[in-house]
Structure 1
Amino acid sequence: MYGIQKVSELTGVSPITLRAWENRYGIIKPDRTDGGTRIYSEQDIEKLNWVIQQKNDKAISIKQAMQLLKDREKREQKNQLNPNNYDWYIDKIYLTLKNHYMDEATNYIDFLVDTLGHEQTFHDFFIPVLTKIGLSWENDDLSVAEEHFMSHYIQQRIAEYFYQLEVKQPKQTAIAVCPTDEMHQIGLLLFSIFLKKQGINVLFIGENTPADSLIDLINKRNINLLAASFTLASSINQLTNLIDTVREAAPNLDIVIGGQNLQLLPEDYQRYQIGHTVAAWKEWLNH
Structure 2
Amino acid sequence: MSVYSIKDLEHLSGIKAHTIRIWEQRYELFSPQRTATNIRFYSDEDLKLILNIASLKDHGIKISKIVAMPQEVLEEEVKKIALERRSHQDQISALTMAMIDLDEEQFSSILDDCTKLLGFEKAMMEIIYPFMRRIGILWLTNSINPAQEHFISHLVRQKLIVATDNAEINQSGPMFLLFLPEGELHELGLLFANFLLRSKGAKTIFFGQTVPLDALEEVYHKLNPEFLITSLTTAPETKEVQKYINKLGTKFKNCQVYVTGRKVIGQEIEYPKNVGLLNQFEDLIQLVEQIVQKVD
Cα deviation digits, residues 197-238 of structure 1 (max 9, x gap): 232111111221111110121122222210010223753466
Residue matched to 2:277: 273
Shift of 1:276: 0.4
Go from structure 1 to structure 2 and tell me whether the alpha carbon gap of 1:154 and 1:212 turns closer, same or farther (over 3 Å shift): same
Q: Which has the higher contact order (CA 8 A, sep 6+)?
A: 2
Cα deviation digits, residues 26-52 of structure 1 (max 9, x gap): xxxxxxxxxxxxxxxxxxxxxxxxxxx
Go from structure 1 to structure 2 and tell me whether the alpha carbon gap of 1:237 and 1:90 turns closer, same or farther (over 3 Å shift): same
Residue matched to 2:96: 94
| Cα contact 1:137–1:147 (8 A) shared by 2 | yes
Letter paired with 2:205: L
Give 1 or 2 for the bigger CA radius of gyration: 1
Go from structure 1 to structure 2 and tell me whether the alpha carbon gap of 1:236 and 1:178 turns closer, same or farther (over 3 Å shift): farther
Letter paired with 2:208: G
1:202-281 matched pairs, under 5 angstroms: 202-232=204-234, 234-236=236-238, 240=242, 243-260=245-262, 261-264=264-267, 266-269=269-272, 272-278=276-282, 281=285
Q: Give the TM-score normalised by structure 1.
A: 0.63
Cα deviation digits, residues 51-110 of structure 1 (max 9, x gap): xxxxxxxxxxxxxxxxxxxxxxxxxxxxx9999611111111121133122112111111
Go from structure 1 to structure 2 and tell me whether the alpha carbon gap of 1:100 and 1:265 turns closer, same or farther (over 3 Å shift): same
Residue matched to 1:133: 135
Shift of 1:115: 1.4
1:114-133 matched pairs, under 5 angstroms: 114-133=116-135
Which 10-residue stretch deviates more, 135-144 or 114-123? 135-144
Say how many residue pairs are matched: 208
1:282 paired with 2:276, answer: no
1:104 paired with 2:100, answer: no
Unaligned runs of 5+ in 2: 1-81, 292-296
- Structure 1 vs Structure 2: percent identity of aligned residues? 20
By percentage of residues, which structure has more helix? Answer: 1
Residue matched to 1:71: none
Go from structure 1 to structure 2 and tell me whether the alpha carbon gap of 1:255 and 1:90 turns closer, same or farther (over 3 Å shift): same
| Cα contact 2:169–2:198 (8 A) shared by 1 | yes
Residue matched to 2:172: 170
| Cα contact 1:275–1:281 (8 A) shared by 2 | no
Q: Give the TM-score normalised by structure 2.
A: 0.61
Shift of 1:166: 2.1
| Cα contact 2:197–2:203 (8 A) shared by 1 | yes
Residue matched to 2:73: none
Distance 2:134 2:243 in 1: 32
Shift of 1:114: 1.2
Go from structure 1 to structure 2 and tell me whether the alpha carbon gap of 1:285 and 1:109 turns closer, same or farther (over 3 Å shift): closer
Which 10-residue stretch deviates more, 112-121 or 215-224? 215-224
Structure 2 residue matching 1:187: 3-state secondary structure = helix
Structure 1 residue matching 2:131: 3-state secondary structure = helix
Residue matched to 2:14: none
Letter paired with 1:146: Q
Unaligned runs of 5+ in 1: 1-79
Cα deviation digits, residues 260-282 of structure 1 (max 9, x gap): 33232531348511220325640
